[in-house]
Structure 1
Amino acid sequence: MKLCGHVRLAVLALATAALAAACSPGDAPIGSASGSATVSPSDGTASGTGADWPEFDQNAARTGVAAGVPAPGKLVTAWTTALDGAVYGQPLVIGGDVIAATENDSIYALSRTTGRIVWRTHAGTPVPQTDLHGCGNIFPLGITGTPVYYPGNGLVYAVAEVTGYQHVLVGVDAATGTIRLRRALDNPTASNQPAYNQQRPALAIDDGRVYATFGGLAGDCGPYQGAVVSAPLAGNGPLARWQVPTSRKGAVWATGGPVVGPDGDLWVSVGNGAARAGDGYDGSDSVTELSPSLQRIAFFAPSTWADDNAHDLDLGSTEPVLAAGGTVFIMGKRGTGYLLSASALGGVGGQLAQQAICQAYGTAAVTGSTVYEPCSSGGLAAVDVDAATRTIKVLWRGPSGSNGTPVVGGGAVWVTQYSDSGGPGTLYALNQATGQVEQQITIGQGLPHFSSLALSGGTAYVSTITGVTAVNGA
């Protein structure tokens, strides 16, 4: 797997409830973190009263669909707030606040109406470029994955990479920014060193635990093995871990993080591994279904897995999508879309159908049987999938530059255009039925790789390489 992009990240972390900060007796020591700094109270004038966008793509199934969003009108910038680093994760929208996390290991609450800083919490010191062994492309390396909010205890959970190459789970009070829990997630071995791990995907919550996934740094350098790790929501107690059964690589790195199915199982994609033609299959280049206790239930891998591994053309660049009719759909770096049965993934070569569509990076949105795939070139693809007839049909393509992670609301598909250089980007509102551009606006602050956004009410909240920009008219 190669993590494309040029910057530092933004993950969110917050939420609250009186949880005592605690680490299990066997936890590795964690560097000290500063407390929260309250800057100003929330305005209290926002329309949102609950967790409108509590996690990546709004819900545990990662559908990317926002309810109660009006049809798009003229798009205008409501506010832009500069933070202390790039924001790579989606903003969260919780009550009157927008939560964002940065590559400087900071977590912020911003007023959703004005963008004013409500509080800021610093979770640790990020890893500088000079300490990354010539690897990676996000500098410094702090919080990259999108945090997740749990209303049961009021905490937002995020994973911060801190100096010493520790990946630390923090639980932050969404109301005050106070860090309520911290614990290390790493399990160093000869074949998996934290210095070469990156926690890029969004976090998920399922079955009383918070889940984080791990891949490698851009360049696929050093000893690492992809993994999914979970910890109890209270912070105490043993970790659970599933490691991809390859001798090297096998990153779990798509930005959306684990997809939680209706029965509580988790679905992830896996990147290229070490095995080649003539070797036994090693769990790489796959769609993998895991139980909440992180036991592998089933998997799919294309019959081209060995060639995919050899040429970095794996499925790990997007997450699987759970669509209508018990359908699973996945696209990756080879550009082929695979239609699968959720009840029978079929192992190697077990697809119901396949079709060449586009190389895809990021996370798709889904409504019913229609999947909106983030194509790296040629524009967003709306794809209809049908397991009963074993058919894949491209319905429309968006503007040629629409390469970000899409979300759906108000009869429109909202998607950004980002560039590898981090220059100015564009936010599009596309007609959901036809793909025609209904509205667009330039985002002058620049958008990070795999750019994404949150929708709430009439506003889109866009992560940028300098902070967060809010756009009204959504």
Structure 2
Amino acid sequence: MRAGKILFAAVACTVAACSSGVAATETQTAPPPAQVTLGTGGAGGTGSYPAAAWPQYGQNAARTGIAADLPAAGPLSHRWTARLDGAVYGQPLVVGDTVIAATENDTVYALSESTGAVVWRHHLGTPVPRSTLQCGDIDPLGITGTPVYDQGNGLVYAVAETTGYHHVLFGLAVSDGAIRVQRDIDIATAGNHPSNDQQRPALAIGGGRVYAAFGGLAGDCGTYIGFIAGVPLSGSGPLVSWHTPTTREGAIWATGGPVTGPDGDLWVSTGNGAAENPAEPYDGSDSVVKLTPNLVRADFFAPATWADDNANDRDLGSTQPVLAAGNTAFIIGKRGVGYLLNAAGLGGIGHQLAEQTICGAFGAAAVSGSTVYEPCSDGGLAAVSVSAAQRNISVLWRGPGDSNGSPVVGGGAVWVTHYDPGGSSSGNTLYELDPATGAVRHQLAVAAGLPHFSSLSLAGGTAFLGTLDGVVAVNGA
């Protein structure tokens, strides 16, 4: 993994929004150890719960990053800023007329979409201080992965890391933040210790379960093995899980989280593993993996360079795989090589349809048809045309040279941020780009620090960005 070396300061601020006047409901409850589950008629029901314009990372289960039916994008202006009690690493969700944000202080907020005022908040526990961890770049470590909303039961699911190194899945009522589901989802496997696990990828929902994936801390300290766990939406019943079949590491850490294919299978990527010599047996790391809903490996791809990738920290798992038009899968990792794959049959080691050096990519790509927007760490966002049928990879354009965030698409524009990897509040920018050329139509300075792999959500002509001390809303999107 070893994604970042810089310690971020997750700024703890007094809870406040730029606009007030909306009464806030505050719930302060330390999570009890007992399992809490939905009662009869809970999960999966058809109750009158609000629809969501942005219910999960990338807007939808396929993680395309596309917001449909938005007004045409235009000039950008600041709308409101909500200063919360910690950093917001995940994409804000937009559910009904509220924005849902989760902080590294283990607090989930509902904010007024129009003003940013706090509607309700629920503090779920005490996060883990960086000083108690062997390594890492987030302080404190609380809720990092983007939550997910299920309209079927009206719950927002989030995984909080709490004192004692517990990773706890919560399901909160979107109406008032009340806890309806609570369950510890740490998996006891050889080579794992919860103090070394980090739940960075976005959560996913499918087949009656919520899925959470895990990697290690920045710096790859201690013993861990990447894994994904599936929990019934009700919170009760057996878990399903899969771990990278290596003896150490093999993190699942790309921020976009599991990608759901048209058949309901889950697509993830894994990082560096134990095997570092091509003469050794392949250990399942450095790969694209297709999993059934029960988390059984159905197919995989690994580059022929997997051993060198493992030995030199060039893991493929720094982004999630993208599913494009025409049974096309595509991924770029730290090595900077884009691999074009046949989604109908990944073929194992070295069976890419084509490859091309493009850029080192970190975060989550967006995809519209056969065009993939990759979050390059240098040289700016890359728009790439891909076709499995034609075995073709073609770079269409590169965005602003400093754009390094994870893109989304909506309102006839491509959106991407520049964030300072050092966590500074200066120089951070939101860009609105022409999708045909990558030219900058409009841009706006963001007067707040943005987290690593910064991304945003779109809804109703507004962009919502998580920051190192809350959420910023921008008009014109």
Q: TM-score, normalised by structure 2?
A: 0.91
Code of the residue aligned with 1:298 in structure 2: it is D
Deviates more, 1:376-385 or 1:419-428: 419-428
Q: Deviations over 1:40-84 (max 9, x none)?
A: xxxxxxxxx620000001000000000122222110000001000
Confirm or deny: 8 A CA contact 1:339 1:352 kept in the other structure. Answer: yes
- The equivalent of 1:25 in structure 2 is none
- The equivalent of 1:52 in structure 2 is 53
Confirm or deny: 8 A CA contact 1:72 1:439 kept in the other structure. Answer: no
SS at match of 2:307: helix
Confirm or deny: 8 A CA contact 1:8 1:141 kept in the other structure. Answer: no
1:371 matched to 2:372: yes
- The equivalent of 1:16 in structure 2 is none
CA offset at residue 422 of structure 1?
1.4
SS at match of 1:168: strand
SS at match of 1:316: helix
1:70 matched to 2:75: no
- The equivalent of 1:471 in structure 2 is 474
- Using the alignment, how far apart are the partners of 2:75 and 2:413 within structure 1? 13
- Using the alignment, how far apart are the partners of 1:203 and 1:53 within structure 2? 13
Confirm or deny: 8 A CA contact 1:9 1:145 kept in the other structure. Answer: no
- The equivalent of 2:453 in structure 1 is 450
Code of the residue aligned with 1:61 in structure 2: it is A
Confirm or deny: 8 A CA contact 2:35 2:182 kept in the other structure. Answer: no
- Using the alignment, how far apart are the partners of 2:241 and 2:350 within structure 1? 27
- Using the alignment, how far apart are the partners of 2:454 and 2:284 within structure 1? 28
Code of the residue aligned with 1:290 in structure 2: it is L
- Using the alignment, how far apart are the partners of 2:412 and 2:384 within structure 1? 16
- Using the alignment, how far apart are the partners of 1:155 and 1:197 within structure 2? 25
- Using the alignment, how far apart are the partners of 1:313 and 1:335 within structure 2? 9
SS at match of 1:110: strand
Q: Deviations over 1:75-113 (max 9, x none)?
A: 000000100000000000000000000000000000000
1:435 matched to 2:438: yes
- The equivalent of 1:36 in structure 2 is none
Confirm or deny: 8 A CA contact 2:51 2:151 kept in the other structure. Answer: no
- Using the alignment, how far apart are the partners of 1:410 and 1:73 within structure 2? 9
Unpaired segments ≥5 residues, structure 1? 11-27, 34-48
- Using the alignment, how far apart are the partners of 1:308 and 1:143 within structure 2? 29
- The equivalent of 1:351 in structure 2 is 352
- Using the alignment, how far apart are the partners of 1:213 and 1:139 within structure 2? 20
- The equivalent of 1:203 in structure 2 is 203
- The equivalent of 2:171 in structure 1 is 171
CA offset at residue 32 of structure 1?
11
- Using the alignment, how far apart are the partners of 2:216 and 2:117 within structure 1? 35
- Using the alignment, how far apart are the partners of 1:92 and 1:9 within structure 2? 20
Confirm or deny: 8 A CA contact 1:190 1:223 kept in the other structure. Answer: no
- The equivalent of 2:315 in structure 1 is 314
- Using the alignment, how far apart are the partners of 1:210 and 1:223 within structure 2? 25
- Using the alignment, how far apart are the partners of 2:118 and 2:7 within structure 1? 26
- The equivalent of 1:140 in structure 2 is 140
Code of the residue aligned with 2:432 in structure 1: it is A
- The equivalent of 1:361 in structure 2 is 362
- Using the alignment, how far apart are the partners of 2:175 and 2:386 within structure 1? 42
- The equivalent of 1:234 in structure 2 is 234
- Using the alignment, how far apart are the partners of 1:174 and 1:98 within structure 2? 10
Q: What is the 5 A alignment of 1:118-129?
A: 118-129=119-130
Code of the residue aligned with 2:397 in structure 1: it is W
CA offset at residue 31 of structure 1?
8.2
- Using the alignment, how far apart are the partners of 2:449 and 2:415 within structure 1? 17
- The equivalent of 2:417 in structure 1 is 416
Deviates more, 1:71-80 or 1:326-335: 71-80
- Using the alignment, how far apart are the partners of 2:105 and 2:323 within structure 1? 34
- Using the alignment, how far apart are the partners of 2:325 and 2:189 within structure 1? 41
Code of the residue aligned with 2:213 in structure 1: it is T
CA offset at residue 8 of structure 1?
6.8
CA offset at residue 462 of structure 1?
0.5
Code of the residue aligned with 1:219 in structure 2: it is G
- The equivalent of 2:290 in structure 1 is 289
Code of the residue aligned with 1:440 in structure 2: it is Q
- Using the alignment, how far apart are the partners of 2:186 and 2:227 within structure 1? 10
- Using the alignment, how far apart are the partners of 1:129 and 1:254 within structure 2? 21
SS at match of 1:454: strand
- Using the alignment, how far apart are the partners of 2:187 and 2:100 within structure 1? 29
Q: What is the 5 A alignment of 1:147-166?
A: 147-166=147-166
Q: Percent identity?
A: 65
Q: What is the 5 A alignment of 1:263-274?
A: 263-274=263-274
CA offset at residue 9 of structure 1?
7.3
Q: Deviations over 1:397-445 (max 9, x none)?
A: 0000111010001111000000111123100000011100000000011
Confirm or deny: 8 A CA contact 1:8 1:85 kept in the other structure. Answer: no
Code of the residue aligned with 2:455 in structure 1: it is S
- Using the alignment, how far apart are the partners of 1:183 and 1:241 within structure 2? 15
CA offset at residue 187 of structure 1?
2.0
Unpaired segments ≥5 residues, structure 2? 12-30, 37-49
Deviates more, 1:69-78 or 1:111-120: 69-78
CA offset at residue 170 of structure 1?
0.2
- Using the alignment, how far apart are the partners of 1:327 and 1:335 within structure 2? 19
CA offset at residue 29 of structure 1?
7.3
- Using the alignment, how far apart are the partners of 2:410 and 2:188 within structure 1? 43
- Using the alignment, how far apart are the partners of 1:401 and 1:195 within structure 2? 34
SS at match of 1:438: strand
Code of the residue aligned with 1:426 in structure 2: it is T
Code of the residue aligned with 2:451 in structure 1: it is P
Q: Deviations over 1:344-376 (max 9, x none)?
A: 101000100000000000000000000000000
- Using the alignment, how far apart are the partners of 2:456 and 2:10 within structure 1? 14
SS at match of 1:145: coil
CA offset at residue 190 of structure 1?
4.1
